[in-house]
Amino acid sequence: MSYLDELNPRQREAVEHRDGPLLIIAGAGAGKTRVIAHRILHLIKTGVEPSSILAITFTNKAAQEMRNRVSNLLSDVTELPFISTFHSLGVRILRDNATRAGLSPRFTIFDRGDSIRAIKQATKIAGFDPKNFEPPKILGAISRQKGEGVTADEFAERASDFFPRVVSRVWDAYEKILTEEKALDFDDLLLKTALLLKKETGVREAYQTQWKYLHIDEYQDTNRVQYDIARLLAEAHRNIAVVGDVDQNIYQWRGASMKNIMGFEKDWPNAKVVTLQENYRSTQTILDAANRVIEKNKHRREKTLFTKNSGGEKIDLFAGFDEAHEAQFVAEKSRELIAGGAEPKEIAVLFRANFQSRALEEAFMGADIPYQVIGVRFFERKEVKDIISYVRAALSESDTADFARIINVPTRGIGKVTLLKILAKQESGITLGTRTKIAAFRALLARIKKKLETEPLSIALKFVLTESGLEKALKDGDGEDEERLLNIRELISFSTRYNGIERREALEQFLADAALQSDQDELKEEKNAVRLMTVHAAKGLEFDTVFITGLEDGLFPHARLYADKITEEESEEERRLFYVALTRARKKLFLSYAGARSVFGSRQVNLPSEFIFDIPENLLEADIYQSTNGTNVYE
């Protein structure tokens, strides 16, 4: 078992623990993915069947990295354990047990855009104006309830105040739309899985028998329904190993509960606890700063990160006159680093709020430095969704949303009034010429369906592109249309990975994967460019050099709009978010803030963030930068 020699003592302790509950507190950069992969290897080497092992993480990217690690370690094993995201696991369980769950086996998965569109429609059906009740806000309220394991009927019973009653009525209409379109949204994939496992003893016991060893990554990010799924799968054998870090819990605003990891030993008596504190990523200077920042939080498990890496450079601190000056500093420093041999893709610029990217993008464009804004999902691009809508509309006559989306893509001269008549099944009043166009469109969908059922997926998607007229329309368009056409071709290239799978399964897997992509799951190959992203989007990533911008009181830590002050819980989450930002850096950190900034159209003067003062002065170094207008700013 020479593979155990690759681990430090604490990692090895976690890997060698076989039976019974295990809690691994893994600090940033402490090698948690290695530990999970080696633990799976060790279980198999000591006699556990690979098919008895389940590993769950949060993003497709993380799941793929885990599969690759395990596959490399198990080169002599023909069968791999099931490694999946929570949502993909839900898709598998629900498709396998669709009848018992009261679902169509070929249910559609609504992405966020689909859900917002349906919520807008449901708001109107419920008798409210979407302009007065924003669909994203209502969807967020429904999502939070589903994440807590609450159904629409349960919510309706206790909705007493005005807004909850509005949500309840919209939710009821939304559920009817989902049923009509044979669809589930993201939250349903988890909620309906948990309800199925609770109610159907035979289903639950079958999966408990199948997966005797359960691993969950990023356990601090689980919500109530994910917690329930894990508990239901693991309760028979109690071989549950969870990995997480309270200090990196930054998603409470979308339902992640710290109680799950903080209360693990209460939920699972006699659990073994292993704390990983040795960091393999950052310099000691960066870790010293991070340790001092996070130790101010009260609700956490005590740990102090250390490394055998060198001490490293001091952390640069820069005060800009305004956001434009700050952005110029970041761009010029990036230029210097690249000129000195740094790879652009190893530089990240992090910010607390999306609006901050505008000034930064302007500065990078002005300096002619390659950059890439992370967070725009490939599968959310209009042209990609159009192709997927063609596929879904061709496969299901009841899918009116996708039918409506692409009946005029590209333009076919079918107006909105005509579309409403089609959806209302009142086509007799439509002119003969328009009925001919509609018939041609339906014939196109029929040909696409035949291709999907008889040809490999990539061939069928090429057929969609050409026969729909999209390829010609985009070729005849402008430069942006050329980029859109390239994105569709990239989608077709991506689809070749499903060509060796049975056609029906390939289609289901393709549509599920497309719907379940996350912010970090960019399909296109990453450019060699400086990364610009929010701190939330940076979680799980690492870079040689990191700029943390906008460190101003009210921005980072973020002040909630219309709130007199943030709560202690919110304050601690902001501090954890800054801790996550600090620990993304391997070698060098730059911190910056602007003395004045335009926010929502008004100019405001800023004080430096309290987080800056949490870092010992001996770790910081002032930066001076002369902007293009000749202004010198000192800190």
The tokens of 71 are what? Answer: 């596959």
Opening angle at CA 318, ends 375 and 345, nearest 5? 35
Does residue 630 carry a pLDDT above 50?
no
Could you tell me the pLDDT band of residue 370, with boundaries at 50, 70 and 90? very high
Could you tell me the pLDDT band of residue 64, with boundaries at 50, 70 and 90? confident
Q: Any known ligand binding at 27?
A: yes
Which pLDDT value is given to residue 535?
A: 94
Q: Any known ligand binding at 353?
A: no
629 compared with 114, residue with greater pLDDT: 114
- Choosing from 33, 222, 283, 520, which is the catalytic residue? 33
Instruction: Please give the Cα distance from 494 to 499 (Å, whole number).
Output: 10
142 compared with 429, residue with greater pLDDT: 142
Does residue 634 carry a pLDDT above 50?
no
- Choosing from 218, 221, 288, 316, which is the catalytic residue? 218
Which pLDDT value is given to residue 564?
A: 54
Judged by average pLDDT, the poorest of 229-243, 387-401, 508-522, 592-606 is: 508-522
Which pLDDT value is given to residue 635?
A: 37
Active site residue 12: no
pLDDT in tens, 253-275: 778 899 999 999 999 999 999 99
Q: Any known ligand binding at 31?
A: yes
φ, ψ dihedrals at 466, nearest 5°: -80, -50
Active site residue 522: no
Q: What percent of the chain has pLDDT over 70?
A: 93
* Burial class of residue 119 in the structure, from the number of CB atoms within 10 Å of its CB (0-12 exposed, 13-18 middle, 19+ buried): buried
| pTM across the whole model | 0.80
Which pLDDT value is given to residue 236?
A: 95
Does residue 602 carry a pLDDT above 70?
no
227 CB neighbour count, 10 Å cutoff: 20
CA nearest 517: which of 403, 346, 374, 409?
A: 374
φ, ψ dihedrals at 128, nearest 5°: -115, 160
474 compared with 610, residue with greater pLDDT: 610
The tokens of 345 are what? Answer: 């893709």
Highest mean predicted confidence (pLDDT) among 125-139, 186-200, 591-605? 186-200
Instruction: Please give the Cα distance from 173 to 123 (Å, whole number).
Output: 8
Could you tell me the pLDDT band of residue 433, with boundaries at 50, 70 and 90? confident
Highest mean predicted confidence (pLDDT) among 371-385, 550-564, 609-623? 609-623
Q: Is 510 left (phi over 0), alpha (psi -120 to 50) or beta?
A: alpha
Assess contact for 366 and 444: CB atoms under 8 A: no
Active site residue 57: no
Q: Is 591 left (phi over 0), alpha (psi -120 to 50) or beta?
A: beta
- Choosing from 462, 584, 587, 597, which is the catalytic residue? 584
Q: Any known ligand binding at 59?
A: no
Based on its alpha-carbon atoms, the radius of gyration of the chain, rounded to whole angstroms, reads 26
Active site residue 205: no
Please give the mean pLDDT across all residues of the chain. Answer: 88
CA nearest 242: which of 252, 253, 230, 254?
A: 230
Active site residue 248: yes
Three-state SS for 562?
coil
Which pLDDT value is given to residue 412?
A: 84
pLDDT in tens, 419-429: 888 887 888 77
Span 448-459, average pLDDT: 91
Q: Any known ligand binding at 30?
A: yes
Does residue 607 carry a pLDDT above 70?
yes
Span 141-145, average pLDDT: 93
Instruction: Please give the Cα distance from 217 to 271 (Å, whole number).
Output: 17
* Burial class of residue 1 in the structure, from the number of CB atoms within 10 Å of its CB (0-12 exposed, 13-18 middle, 19+ buried): exposed
Which pLDDT value is given to residue 633?
A: 42
Ordered by where they begin, the domains of the chain are: 9-92+199-278 (3.40.50.300), 108-181 (1.10.10), 294-376+524-623 (3.40.50.300), 380-520 (1.10.486.10)
Could you tell me the pLDDT band of residue 524, with boundaries at 50, 70 and 90? very low
Active site residue 32: yes
Could you tell me the pLDDT band of residue 173, with boundaries at 50, 70 and 90? very high
